Chain A
Amino acid sequence: DADVTQTPRNRITKTGKRIMLECSQTKGHDRMYWYRQDPGLGLRLIYYSFDVKDINKGEISDGYSVSRQAQAKFSLSLESAIPNQTALYFCATSDSGTSGRNKDEQFFGPGTRLTVL
C-alpha cells in the first residue's frame, strides 16, 4: 500500500552497529505497529503505538526501541544489531476512529529486509 512507506527497503549491516528503520504513513491513522517476519513464524509484534504519546512493547521487544516522532512517523531502532535480528520488518497502521467493521484492519508497508552479518 503506497500510503505506508518504509525506508530503507534493504539493508545489510554488521554485528554491533546501530540501525534505524523508518515508517511513514499518509493514511491519517493514529495507530502504528512494527512487526518482524521470520520463515515459519509468521509476523510477530515488536512494538506498537496508539498515539504519539503512547508506546507499548509487543511480544518480542528485547533488543529494539521505537520512537513516534509524529502521528505519521514511527521508527524502529536496533541499538546493537545481532545476526538473529536478520528478518523482514513490516510497519503497519490502523485507525481507531473508524466504525466497527474497519477499526481493527491493519494496513502494511512494503517491508524492510535487514541482514545482520
Chain B
Amino acid sequence: AQSVSQHNHHVILSEAASLELGCNYSYGGTVNLFWYVQYPGQHLQLLLKYFSGDPLVKGIKGFEAEFIKSKFSFNLRKPSVQWSDTAEYFCAVNIAAGNKLTFGGGTRVLVKP
C-alpha cells in the first residue's frame, strides 16, 4: 500500500518569504499526485495536480509543485507568501490504476503579517 509523508508539521513564516513544503510517497509504480489546501474553517480545495508530462506543475494562487520521480517527491512551492496563505496543506497520492487517495498528515502554515 502506498504511504505519503509530509515532513513539516508546522511552518511559520513572514509575508513575502518563500515557502517550500515537502512531500514524499512510497510506491514504485505510476502515481497521480495532488496538493490540497484547507483554509481555516473551510473544506479542502485542490491547489494543483500532476498526472503526466511536465514535472513542474503550476496551480492556483501562485503555487507550483515539482515531481521528481527518482526521489519519490512532489514538493510544493510559492516564491512569496501572503497572510491569506495561512492554511493547512495536504499532499495526496493515488495509484494511476485506482481511485483512492492516500493523504499525508498535513502541514499547518502560519504566515505572519
A interface residues with partner B (beta carbon < 8 Å): 1, 31, 33, 35, 40-45, 48, 50, 58, 90, 94, 96, 100-101, 103-106, 108-111
Contacts of A35 in B (CB 8 A): 103
Tell me how far the C-beta of A1 lies from the nearest C-beta in chain B, rounded to whole angstroms: 7
Number of CB contacts from chain A to chain B under 8 A:
53
Tell me how far the C-beta of A60 lies from the nearest C-beta in chain B, rounded to whole angstroms: 12
Asked whether A105 and B43 contact (CB < 8 A) given A43-B90, A45-B101, the answer is no
Contact B105 A40 (CB under 8 A): yes
Contact B9 A50 (CB under 8 A): no
Contact B104 A42 (CB under 8 A): yes
Contact A96 B105 (CB under 8 A): no
Segment with Cβ contacts to A, from B14-22, B44-52, B75-83: B44-52
Contact B43 A109 (CB under 8 A): yes
The contact sample of 5 A-B pairs, CB cut-off 8 A, is: A31-B99, A35-B103, A42-B90, A100-B51, A108-B43
